[in-house]
Amino acid sequence: MLTPLAYGLAILLNLFVVFIGARFLLVPRASAAGYGVPAKEDGDAAYLTIKGLRDGTFGILGLVLLAVAGAHAEAWFMLVIALVPLGDTAIVLRHGGTRATAFGIHFATAVVVLISAALLFAV
């Protein structure tokens, strides 16, 4: 029972990150607003593209690790990658985003990623 849950959550999280990356590449300004810090119309769009590429790469790497190296390697990856949504929490708060977005989206994501890591370690 634990194995399908651990793998399923890890796959879901990685696919979600791939989706977020693709969204930042395809509709960067709308994605930035959803992130919690809207992009300026005259701002450098390259930074939004960087975020899309980073997120997409992290999601694909997570899927590859799970498929090739297994649950233990994916657990370590999830443990380390949880730093990203924790950092995103601080970024949103520091740049005028709402506490609801910072904690309700980014911090909550970090918690779910850490739960995924714990489940994968337990498999």
pLDDT tens string 55-88: 999 999 999 999 999 999 999 999 999 999 999 9
pLDDT tens string 5-56: 999 999 999 999 999 999 999 999 999 999 999 998 888 889 999 999 999 9
Domain count, the chain: 1
Domain of residue 27: give its range. 2-122
Backbone angles phi, psi at 42, to 5 degrees: -100, 10
Residue 101 CB partners (closer than 8 Å, separation 6+): 35, 36, 92
The pLDDT assigned to 44 comes to 80
Task: For residue 3, give the amino acid letter.
Answer: T
